[in-house]
Structure formats: structure tokens, C-alpha cells
Structure 1
């Protein structure tokens, strides 16, 4: 007999990295909420059967969609919240409001479990003690206890050192049975291992030598802000880390190097290659132009991490999942 699957409500769904991982872990979304038009189109492009609602979580009223009540899991990869010192920026204020909205939505929807992903500092830094305390107190008001943990995507087979802060909330007895997934016993793939075939696809003679030099997992991929800048691989420090791997991080390329590209030059990554470093499957498609797609990919939660955490949540909620990461 096929084991029953669990239901989820996904907020700030983006390009679907977390939703894809949770799908592998045994969760089917009753709805995905996202306010970016191209991200919504990406979700429908890959999963036409998913119900995708384009709206801001702050404006979402579950009374208008009663089937979201009592789902097994409320999940979201929320925009990166900033400390109180930077809350003057428009996007910083909105990021905090979205985090608060996720908590209030928990009050309304009453899921069996909550999974929220954000910056690691939200879990560890004294600068965020105020918002952590507020979250814990307000979830406790409706019976939830909270687990916090920072996970590195490289520990779960992702070719990238991406530290992610996670909150998992449940009520007892499920809460006391939850355990975080253990890191994989295998080392993460390197940038060269993942991208060598792609770099050499159009005949660049330097691909193999480049791959041998790109012998570490990638630094964290940075999606950037919709309010400023174009598609590149992040601030100066990140670009230096990419340069050590032989990658020109000043912008995102349109194609892979061809036969005339110098053997000793540093290639740029294209958006498909960035998606590979985020561990999106090859068949996952993205809607939009280059900068939009790069931001969708860069802001995504790598599916293997969401799958690993989702499987542990599913185990606690009583669902037997397929063999895979744990």
C-alpha cells in the first residue's frame, strides 16, 4: 500500500526549491503563496497541478481559502530578515513584517508543524534576540514549542557552503520526538565536479583544467535585492571567493565558454549553472529574463536541505517516506 502523503501550505514560495524538497519528503501543497509574478509562473511551469496564489503573505486571509486550515505543515523560505539596526531600509521593515505574518498565520491555520527558513543569524545572533523571543512567546500562546538550528547545505550533498537558519515548531507529543537530520557521510561535490561537463559543452579546451582548480564547494550564492543592482555573484568578498575557484563573479553569463575562450581565463556562470549549484534538477525550468531568473535561483532554498528536514518532520507526523536523504 502506498503510504499516505501529508499536506502543506507554502508561503514566500519563490521558485519552488523548498516546495520541491518537501514534495520529495512526502508533502503535497494545498496552496503556494508568492508575490513575484515570474516566480509564480515558474511554479506553474513545473507543477501545473499546484495551486499558486500571487499575493503578499501580509494580505493573505485564510478565511477566504478554508481548505488551508489544519494542514500538516506550514512552510516558508522567508526573505532574509535584517537586524533592528538596519530596519530603516524599506525592504528590512517588510522582511520583519513577513516573519511576523508567518507567526500570525500559524495562529489562524493551526498546522501540525511549522518550518521556516531564514538567515543563520536569526538563530544565533544576539542582534535577533528580540525577534526570537517574540516568535517563541507568540507560538507558545497557541501551544507550539520551537526548535532552532543552523544547517550547512554542503552537509546534505549540495555543492555549496550555504548556512541556513531553520525554525521547526510543533506541539507535544510530536515536538519531543523531532530530531534534526544528520549530515551526510559523503563530502559535498565540488564546483568543478558539478560543472565540468557544462563548461566543456561548447568546446572550451580549458574545461577540464578549470574543473580541477574548482575543487571546493561554492560559496553561498547570493540572489541580490530587487531594489538594486543586476545579476552577479555577490559582494566583493564573495567575488574573491569565486575567483579562487576560477569563476568571474562580476556578472552572470549568457552562455558557456566556446572553443575560442582562452584556456586560462575565468568563465562566468550562467543561470542554469547557478541552478545546478543550488541542486535544482535539470528538468526544473524558470520563467523570466536573466536577472529575474538569477534572483529566483539565488534566493531559493536548496531542495536537498528542505527534503532532509521535511523527512524528519514527516517521520514525526507519522508518514513513511521513500528511501532517500535523512
Structure 2
């Protein structure tokens, strides 16, 4: 059930604005929270105040529950590239896709995939050495998150051959060699404006050249898809041109509320039990002493001035907020975007109440991996695998939309088959007497 009241932090996440912006809106009367509680110091926004914002309308009028029931009409074959530790793969698997092959270069990530899904075919190694032609005609969808690279051809209209040497070229080659009905590629938000938009323009040119219609790319915020983390991913969906005119891709509806660190680590709607214990990194003694002074949800500016200077060193005198430094997460807010190293000074992710980095299983829960999904390799490799992954629940939501798209394509194919049968085998003429009797 959708709550009626929302905190300042929740509204900031829903509307995609900062808390400072909400405070300005409060001061100038644009959006004023209600005073609640016995002392009137607890301020919240009523749902009715948010109805005029498009982002809130999408949340309040979501079709999430209906979309949960989307299932495939038949087995849809999946080829995944740059598979990593399986965030995207698990989500697509939960949606109903059937794995044909997964390619990944990192040995630890490959071992993780094999350990958890021994029935999956995992091809370990450089994608440039993988031939995808044996899968031609067997594949319904190609998926993957190719690393974003500059193409170094500023101002030119790049085609397929011009992108050689980039990982996008390899993604495009796999699509060309397998000829799937659709593809999905995910990337960082920065790809939108990479090299002043020329990188994305080159990608669009190649997709067109390959014979696919690109759905207008969209940045999806993970917090809207049952993920307790402020992570954003750029999603590209392509539909083969012989099918594109007959179907429409519909983006997934958001979940009914924003998940928080409490949802991630405690028993509740997201997980049936508290997060299990697991290995994790530790802070050096002096760092732990300093971070112990940071309040829940705070960062380096919440430290006493002498500790600010000690912790920040020369950065203390530089401009900018540097809000990731000495950052402690908050129970009732989503996590900041996870990085590949939870104790890195520039992107601190300290536990909400204990003075330590997040453990491996805590990391995995924030990315919505199942507790049963085991990670292999040294501790640093496990953090890297989790930090690089697509959140599983985000992938699952997108996967359901892709299943719906393929179901629509399947319905068109079925209809075409019926029409072709009628044309090739027209009904026999009915005798006059039979027709009269029938009438």
C-alpha cells in the first residue's frame, strides 16, 4: 500500500532533486511540508502535495503488480555479453529468459556464474575471440553492458566498421552474427553526453546500419524498481526493423515505494531475514576513530573542524562538496551508488550505525542479489563483481518489459502464420445444399 506521508529525503529521491532544493521550495512557498508529531518538529509531505509532479504520478499510478504477472509465451533464447557476476543475467532469468551463452573476461566473475548456475554455458575470455555465428537464428535477445569508450572520430558519421577496436563494436558484431529479434544494452548515464553526444550518435548510426530500430534511450533510476540504491543506468533497446513497425516497447512501471537501507539489511518486504554475516573490509584504527564521529546520514562536514582538517588534508581547502568522503549511510534512505571498493576515501560507504565498511553480503543486498548467490575470488574481487553489477531487481523489471515485447512479436508471428495458411490452403467451396442447410 502506498504511504500517505513522505519524508524530505524520500521526496528528494522521488522528484530527483536535492534536499537543499526542497528547503528552498519550503522557504519560497513552492512546496511546504506539513508539521507532524507532538512537538511539530517532524515535517513530512502529504501524498496530495506531490500529485502535480510527473515523477510522483508515475509512482502513485504504477502498474507494477500487473507487470509482475508477465510470463513468456515460449522459451526466449538469451545471449549475454560482458556478463560480470550475473546481476543482469539473474534479473533476465527471473523474468523468464533462457540462457544460451554468457561471455565474460574476468575469471572470478566467470567462476561466480559457474558456481551458481552450473547449467549455464559460460564462455570465459576476450569477446574479440568469440564467434557468435553458430547461434544465428537461435537467439531472441542479445544483452549486455559494453564499456563506454571514445571512438576518436569527432565530426564523422561513424558506421559499423569505424567502431572497430571498441567494445561496442564487439556488441554490435554479436548482434549482427546472431540476428536476434531485439537487444538490450546498458551503460552509465555519462554515455548520453560522452564526447558532446558524438559517441551515442555513432552508436545510433551503427544500430541503424545493422537493421534495428532504437527505442529512445532512457536513464532508469534503480530506486524506482525495488532497489535500495541511488544508481542510474542508461538503457538502450533495439527492435529488428522487420518487426519494429508492429510492436511498441513499454518501459517498466516503478515500484510503489522507495526502498531503503533498512529494507536492504533488515527482515522486511525485500528479504525474509536480516542480512547474513559475511566477510568484509576493515578501516585502519585512526580512520575508524574519525568516522565514529560522523552521524547517521552525515559526511566529513559533520565532523569537528580539527578532524575535518586531519581527514581531508589538502582537500579541506578545495571547492566542491565532496559529499562521498567520510560518508555514513542512513537507515531510512537508499544507499548511495555502490563502487567497487567500499572503503575508498573518495566514495566512502560506512554502515549506518557500526563504524565499518559494508560487508560483501550487505553490498550484495543493496544490489538486490539473492542471499543464495555466492561470489568467488579474493575479497577485493568480490566487491568489484558486486559494485560493477546491474541491480538484479532493476534487471528483472526491465526483463518483464522485454518479455512483454517478445510476446507481442510472437502474437504477430502467430497471426502471420494463420494468414499464410489461409492463403496457401483456401477453404473448399461449400455445396449449395450444404450452405443452405448451414444457413
TM-score (norm 2): 0.57
For 1:277-288, what aligned pairs fall within 5 Å after superposition? 277-288=366-377
Contact 2:103/2:123 (<8 A) preserved: yes
1:232 to 329, 342, 350: 342
Gaps of 5+ in 2: 1-70, 153-162, 267-273, 279-294, 298-328, 410-439
1:266 to 342, 347, 355: 355
Distance (whole Å) between structure 1 residues aligned to residue 276 and residue 355 of structure 2:
11
* 1:319, distance to aligned residue in structure 2 (A): 7.2
Distance (whole Å) between structure 2 residues aligned to residue 222 and residue 108 of structure 1:
34
Query: Which position in structure 2 is the counterpart of 1:318?
Result: 407
Distance (whole Å) between structure 2 residues aligned to residue 170 and residue 233 of structure 1:
41
Query: Which position in structure 2 is the counterpart of 1:256?
Result: none
1:177 to 241, 248, 259: 248
Distance (whole Å) between structure 2 residues aligned to residue 313 and residue 167 of structure 1:
12
Query: Which position in structure 2 is the counterpart of 1:251?
Result: none
After superposition, the Cα gap between the structure-2 partners of 1:279 and 1:2, relative to the gap in structure 1 and judged at 3 Å, is closer
Query: Which position in structure 2 is the counterpart of 1:155?
Result: 224
Distance (whole Å) between structure 2 residues aligned to residue 128 and residue 32 of structure 1:
32
Secondary structure of the corresponding residue to residue 252 of structure 2: coil
RMSD: 3.0
Contact 1:145/1:170 (<8 A) preserved: yes
2:331 to 214, 221, 233: 214
Distance (whole Å) between structure 2 residues aligned to residue 286 and residue 96 of structure 1:
31
Query: Which position in structure 1 is the counterpart of 2:177?
Result: 108
Higher RCO (CA < 8 A, seq sep 6+): 1
Secondary structure of the corresponding residue to residue 154 of structure 1: helix
Gaps of 5+ in 1: 86-93, 202-208, 224-230, 248-263, 321-326
After superposition, the Cα gap between the structure-2 partners of 1:163 and 1:4, relative to the gap in structure 1 and judged at 3 Å, is same
* 1:316, distance to aligned residue in structure 2 (A): 1.3
Per-residue CA deviation, residues 246-274 of structure 1 (Å, 9 max, x unaligned), is 55xxxxxxxxxxxxxxxx65232111110
Aligned residues: 273
Per-residue CA deviation, residues 5-62 of structure 1 (Å, 9 max, x unaligned), is 2111000101011010001111111000011111111101111100000011122112
Structure of larger gyration radius: 2
Distance (whole Å) between structure 2 residues aligned to residue 234 and residue 115 of structure 1:
32
Query: Which position in structure 1 is the counterpart of 2:96?
Result: 26
After superposition, the Cα gap between the structure-2 partners of 1:49 and 1:198, relative to the gap in structure 1 and judged at 3 Å, is closer
* 1:76, distance to aligned residue in structure 2 (A): 0.5
Distance (whole Å) between structure 1 residues aligned to residue 263 and residue 222 of structure 2:
17
- 1:15 to 2:104 alignment: no
Contact 1:69/1:108 (<8 A) preserved: no
